[in-house]
A and B are shown apart, each in its own frame.
Chain A
Amino acid sequence: MNSPNTKTAIPYNRSRQAREAETMLDHITDDFDDNPAAMDYFYDLFRRAYCQGESLEREGVRVGTTCIHAPEELIYAMGATPVRLCNGSYHYDQIGADFMPAKSCSLVKATLGMLSSENVIPKVGKLDLIVNPTTCDQKKKASAMMVGMGHKVYNLELPPAKESEQARLYWQRSVREFVQQLRQITGKKLTRKNLMAAMARTSRAQAAFRTLHNFRRKAPSLVLGKDVFLVTNAYFFDDIERWTEAVEKLNAELAQRDQDGFCAAQKKAPRILFTGSPPIFPNLKLPLLIEESGGVVVADETCSANRMLYDMTAVDEWLVNDMVDSLANKYLKPCTCPIFTNSDDRLRRLVELAKSFAVDGVVYQAFSGCQVYEMEQKSVAETLNKAGIAMLYIETDYSPDDMGQLTTRIEAFLESLKTRKRNRT
């Protein structure tokens, strides 16, 4: 007889989200020859975390973040472990649709979907706090919904502009308040010593990223963009020291590849700069489509990769309060998020990246319903075109049903870039 408490136990790896992740990983590994051996660490990490539902380790208090604006040095300094909650699963996107209007951003919906589920994947365990920087409207409104699900949420107030002095002061106060909040949660005090130690940890990780980033300037390419997106994506939840070591190993392998004259892509493969809404595993469909169609993503300007890790902290203040203030500046001033009123920095950064990475074209992804990226695409296209760089704008979401159309568009774009190049020479 069935007792009323019997649950139908489905092995985790047969669940929809596990199979979604598995399909994507299979594409990433099997559709390409010569994946770097050092990538095995990351393939395995994602298989364990997403396909097998392995629990993630943690140290101390677990602090979830919903955006790169939450200063992780402060979280590490107080003995807590940050985990970035931004989610890329179509499965959770569909569940999250219960919380948001139909035409809202897949990323926000998927994050809510994940947080509302009993088994959050990756398994981060109990979240002691979620830090939600007040960026776009959808993330602002998601806050109350997360509270409704029983999470403890702290809204880290971000100003809508970043140039003015009042914006800087406003943000500095927000970050100081955040330190107080962390102190309450962790019961620890922020000191010069633990902050310096935390910054050393993140700086080493960022230095490893920057080396990887710079390897991508090489032509022909040493590494494909789909792998780099997986690497930066692992930073969301992996142990920071282990992650750094794995990236350093990858860098060593790339240095060897460089010496051996190895090519990860054809010499004439169009070089693509990827920007807009962030690719987050398992939604790597667009970067993957680009590389399966014969292009190579050599650089990106997204908050799941370059924007998250590029700008390093170098604080040489003597007093811990001054250190916090300058750390706050680092999280505000160089950020190229489209939620800020003025996006000149983002435009400059894109042109600079396109030029310094010898990019042939830019692919701009906007998740349907992500208004800021949708609205900005026109000015970005104009700026790039003025600089002689072609841009393809793609509005999409996490669902796989537009793959056929996207393939056609991407192939046509790559073909036109090739012809352009041929005509130029």
Chain B
Amino acid sequence: MKYFAGLDIGSTAIKVALVDEEGKIVGVHVSSSGSLFHKNAREALHTLLAQQGVAKDDVRYLIATGYGRKLFKEADDSISEITANAIGAHETGKAFGGVRTIINIGGQDSKAIQIDDTGNVSNFAMNDKCAAGTGRFLDVAARNLDIDLEELGDYHFNGKGAPLTINSTCTVFAESEIIGLLANGHGKEEIIAGIHYSIAKRTVRLAKRVGIEDRVYFDGGPALNKGLVAAIQDELGRELVVPEYPQTTTAFGAAILARNEFFAETS
């Protein structure tokens, strides 16, 4: 049996996806990036292979993507996460009737990608160099509010009052704004909802820059946060397609590409 792997070395997490000869997903794995990108990436791959009982030699082609893609020299090839994301979303989106716009929020950037009906990137936009409106922002906020990242979604829906407004676009300034709101006696719930709407606003502006076409797919770690999903849907005025494993869409795209490249090279 031949397998193909996609390895997405992101700023916060390393995602691995394994597909079979048909391009069907076999397994995925997510672990933290830490500071030793290369070592952790190798371990993540080994863990997934062990879990699935796949021998290393059966992985015939591996494509690396994400910020650390150049560091992983064992890969057969590397590709930018935008192209990999597009391929992964196009493939996953088929089950939902096809998607044309992708919103991705990662650890340190956010992207909006427009794809054509074959999954090719036709336009994309990325946030500028600061971490505003990215996963890192949620991380910092959760830490300030002394709650777990996973709890953010629940807090979002339990607020009594209207979501507060977080104006600062900079992660560092927003941090002091949050502390100020807490000092004024505002509830965590309203603050969290406010943070979600602030990220949603920025993200939707980005998506509008590339042009929104039906359907809109949302992926990346923050897509696990139901509160954020709701906020983006509100700002966008339409429903989002959120896959079951939003973190691994890009790794899956790289795996699909690895499979296609393998057959293109061997045929």
By a beta-carbon cutoff of 8 Å, the part of chain A in contact with chain B is 395, 401-402, 404-405, 407-409, 411-412, 415-416, 419-420, 423
Q: How many positions in chain B have a CB within 8 Å of any CB in the partner chain?
A: 15
Considering the chains assembled together, what is the distance between the CA atoms of A416 and B122 in angstroms?
A: 7
What chain B residues lie within 8 Å of A402 (beta carbons)?
128-129
Considering the chains assembled together, what is the distance between the CA atoms of A416 and B126 in angstroms?
A: 15
B124 touches A412 (CB 8 A): yes
CB-CB nearest 7 A-B residue pairs = A412-B82, A411-B80, A416-B121, A412-B80, A402-B129, A415-B83, A419-B120
B142 within 8 Å of A by Cβ? Answer: no
A419 touches B121 (CB 8 A): yes
What chain B residues lie within 8 Å of A409 (beta carbons)?
80, 82, 124, 126
B67 within 8 Å of A by Cβ? Answer: yes
* 25 A-B pairs in the complex with CB atoms less than 8 angstroms apart: A401-B129, A402-B128, A402-B129, A405-B128, A405-B129, A408-B67, A408-B80, A411-B80, A411-B82, A411-B83, A412-B81, A412-B82, A412-B83, A412-B121, A412-B124, A415-B80, A415-B82, A415-B121, A416-B83, A416-B120, A416-B121, A419-B83, A419-B120, A419-B121, A420-B120
B109 within 8 Å of A by Cβ? Answer: yes
B59 within 8 Å of A by Cβ? Answer: no
Which B residue's beta carbon lies closest to that of A410? B80
B181 within 8 Å of A by Cβ? Answer: no
Considering the chains assembled together, what is the distance between the CA atoms of A420 and B122 in angstroms?
A: 9
What chain A residues lie within 8 Å of B128 (beta carbons)?
395, 402, 405
What chain A residues lie within 8 Å of B122 (beta carbons)?
416
A423 touches B82 (CB 8 A): no
Considering the chains assembled together, what is the distance between the CA atoms of A82 and B124 in angstroms?
A: 43
Closest chain A CB from B87 CB (angstroms) = 10
Interface 1/0s, chain B 47-85, versus A by CB < 8 A? 000000000000000000001000000000001111100
B129 touches A408 (CB 8 A): no
Closest chain A CB from B93 CB (angstroms) = 18
Number of interchain pairs (Cβ within 8 Å): 45
Interface 1/0s, chain B 109-134, versus A by CB < 8 A? 10000000010111010101100000
Known contacts A408-B82, A412-B83, A415-B83; is A423 also within 8 Å of B118 by CB?
yes
What chain A residues lie within 8 Å of B126 (beta carbons)?
405, 408-409
Chain A contact surface mostly: helix
What chain A residues lie within 8 Å of B79 (beta carbons)?
411, 415
Closest chain A CB from B104 CB (angstroms) = 12
What chain A residues lie within 8 Å of B121 (beta carbons)?
412, 415-416, 419
Considering the chains assembled together, what is the distance between the CA atoms of A405 and B120 in angstroms?
A: 20
Considering the chains assembled together, what is the distance between the CA atoms of A412 and B124 in angstroms?
A: 9
B124 touches A423 (CB 8 A): no
Closest chain A CB from B135 CB (angstroms) = 15
Considering the chains assembled together, what is the distance between the CA atoms of A339 and B67 in angstroms?
A: 37
Considering the chains assembled together, what is the distance between the CA atoms of A149 and B111 in angstroms?
A: 44
What chain B residues lie within 8 Å of A395 (beta carbons)?
128
Considering the chains assembled together, what is the distance between the CA atoms of A409 and B113 in angstroms?
A: 11
The residue in B67, B79, B80 that gathers the most chain A C-beta atoms within 10 A of its C-beta is: B80
Closest chain A CB from B176 CB (angstroms) = 19
What chain A residues lie within 8 Å of B118 (beta carbons)?
423
Considering the chains assembled together, what is the distance between the CA atoms of A401 and B83 in angstroms?
A: 23
What chain A residues lie within 8 Å of B81 (beta carbons)?
408, 412
Considering the chains assembled together, what is the distance between the CA atoms of A352 and B57 in angstroms?
A: 52
What chain A residues lie within 8 Å of B80 (beta carbons)?
407-409, 411-412, 415
Closest chain B CB from A1 CB (angstroms) = 47
Closest chain A CB from B260 CB (angstroms) = 12
15 more contacts with CB within 8 A, not counting A411-B82, A412-B124, are A395-B128, A402-B128, A404-B67, A405-B109, A405-B126, A405-B128, A407-B80, A408-B126, A409-B80, A412-B83, A415-B121, A416-B120, A416-B124, A420-B120, A423-B118
What chain B residues lie within 8 Å of A405 (beta carbons)?
109, 126, 128-129
Closest chain A CB from B167 CB (angstroms) = 18
Closest chain A CB from B125 CB (angstroms) = 9
Closest chain A CB from B210 CB (angstroms) = 11
What chain A residues lie within 8 Å of B124 (beta carbons)?
409, 412, 416
Considering the chains assembled together, what is the distance between the CA atoms of A416 and B113 in angstroms?
A: 11
Considering the chains assembled together, what is the distance between the CA atoms of A423 and B129 in angstroms?
A: 32
Closest chain A CB from B4 CB (angstroms) = 18
Closest chain A CB from B250 CB (angstroms) = 12
What chain B residues lie within 8 Å of A412 (beta carbons)?
80-83, 121, 124
Closest chain B CB from A410 CB (angstroms) = 8
Closest chain A CB from B66 CB (angstroms) = 9
Considering the chains assembled together, what is the distance between the CA atoms of A402 and B81 in angstroms?
A: 16
Which B residue's beta carbon lies closest to that of A408? B80
Considering the chains assembled together, what is the distance between the CA atoms of A411 and B83 in angstroms?
A: 9
Considering the chains assembled together, what is the distance between the CA atoms of A405 and B81 in angstroms?
A: 11
The residue in A402, A405, A420 that gathers the most chain B C-beta atoms within 10 A of its C-beta is: A405
Closest chain B CB from A380 CB (angstroms) = 15
The residue in A405, A407, A416 that gathers the most chain B C-beta atoms within 10 A of its C-beta is: A416
Considering the chains assembled together, what is the distance between the CA atoms of A86 and B79 in angstroms?
A: 36
Closest chain B CB from A385 CB (angstroms) = 9
Considering the chains assembled together, what is the distance between the CA atoms of A412 and B85 in angstroms?
A: 10
Which A residue's beta carbon lies closest to that of B127? A405
Considering the chains assembled together, what is the distance between the CA atoms of A290 and B82 in angstroms?
A: 16
